[in-house]
């Protein structure tokens, strides 16, 4: 008897009036990492949403204790496979119909970028969000350096990206990164998506956020971040590129800032620092696994 592995992303049509919902569920244990198959399925779901006139909105959800745990770090050692995450996020964001992210668990790295690419975000109170890429010698490379500052301002965006620290859902709502807390974020997101579909939209994109209107405050935050990098993170490769990308979000149109981010991400990806930190990550994970195995004997 042969056993087939279920696909890591499932799509379900929830019927409603005047139009149906497309509910997209990521089920890629243990942390719903954004591997190639997941990225490909998310891209297809976004294209299906726009192409099908019977669909009025999409809910993006996942199973398990983590919403999306970020990129599949195992792919870093090989050639990059299309569709890349930035392409997927841009396609989700470009949907002409509302996309609501339902976050029942942590959204980390690329997972947070997927949520920011959606038009609306609902999170459980215990959810945390973070940009931990700097801990691996990288930066948010799927629009995160451009979308986050436009929602929460340069100072908080820089702090999150330079430290990798986690932000509570309540603080993320207060900062404008998330929209609403709900004990059952999936049910809330479905109801909200139904209401948006009935009203014919609208979509609301992070790229149009107004948190950088105070350019003086944004530039002050960038200068403080540059000083912080020189003082506390001298010799590190990724932090200076992160500051460069957020500065681009302040000074340039979204498309130009995204191009700066894309170049900086490739520079980080090719840096010796990234390779060393990723190797350390795998070594530490193997050590923890061995310790757990020894403890259970």
CB 35 within 8 A of CB 75: yes
d(CA 297, CA 289): 13
Name the domain count of the chain. 1
Strand order in the sheet with 167-168: 66-68, 106-108, 128-130, 167-168
CATH assignment at residue 155: 3.90.226.10
What parts of the chain have a pLDDT lower than 70? 1-4, 77, 281-297
d(CA 134, CA 274): 9
The token pair that represents 181 in the structure block: 């807390």
pTM of the complete model beyond 0.75: yes
Residue 3: the pLDDT is 57
Closest CA to 280 of 107, 23, 76, 78: 76
The token pair that represents 2 in the structure block: 């042969």
Residue 277: the pLDDT is 83
For residue 262, give every residue at least 6 positions away whose Cβ sits within 8 Å of its Cβ, in sequence order, or none.
86, 141
Exposure of 34 in the CB half-sphere (CA atoms within 13 A) = 29
Residue 47: the pLDDT is 98
Residue 73: the pLDDT is 77
Residue 71: the pLDDT is 85
pLDDT tens for 7-29 read 999 999 999 888 999 999 999 99
Distance of CA 41 to the CA centre of its chain: 16
- Give the domain extent around 31: 1-297
């Amino acid at each position: 008897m042969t056993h087939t592995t279920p696909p890591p992303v499932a799509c379900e049509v929830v019927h409603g009036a005047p139009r149906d919902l497309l509910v997209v569920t990521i089920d890629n244990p243990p942390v719903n990492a954004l591997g190639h198959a997941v990225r490909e399925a998310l891209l297809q779901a976004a294209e299906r949403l726009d192409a099908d006139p019977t669909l009025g909105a999409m809910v993006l959800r996942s199973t398990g204790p983590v919403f999306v745990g970020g990129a599949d770090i195992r792919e870093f050692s090989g050639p990059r496979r299309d569709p890349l995450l930035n392409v997927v996020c841009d396609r989700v964001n470009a949907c002409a119909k509302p996309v609501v992210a339902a976050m029942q668990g942590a959204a980390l790295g690329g997972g947070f970028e997927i949520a920011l690419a959606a038009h609306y975000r609902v999170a459980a109170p215990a959810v945390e969000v973070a940009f931990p890429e700097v801990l691996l010698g990288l930066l948010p490379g799927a629009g995160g350096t451009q979308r986050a500052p436009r929602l929460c301002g340069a100072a908080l965006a820089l702090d999150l990206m330079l430290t990798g620290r986690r932000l509570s859902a309540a603080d993320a709502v207060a900062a404008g990164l998330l929209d609403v807390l709900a004990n059952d974020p999936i049910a809330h997101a479905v109801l909200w998506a139904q209401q948006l579909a009935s009203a014919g939209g609208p979509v609301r994109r992070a790229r149009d956020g107004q948190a950088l209107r105070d350019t003086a405050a944004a530039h002050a935050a960038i200068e403080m971040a540059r000083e912080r990098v020189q003082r506390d993170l001298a010799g590190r490769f990724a932090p200076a590129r992160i500051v460069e990308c957020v500065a681009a979000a302040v000074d340039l149109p979204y498309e130009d800032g995204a191009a700066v981010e894309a170049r900086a991400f490739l520079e980080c990806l090719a840096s010796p620092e990234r390779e060393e930190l990723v190797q350390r990550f795998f070594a530490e994970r193997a050590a923890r696994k061995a310790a757990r195995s020894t403890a259970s004997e």
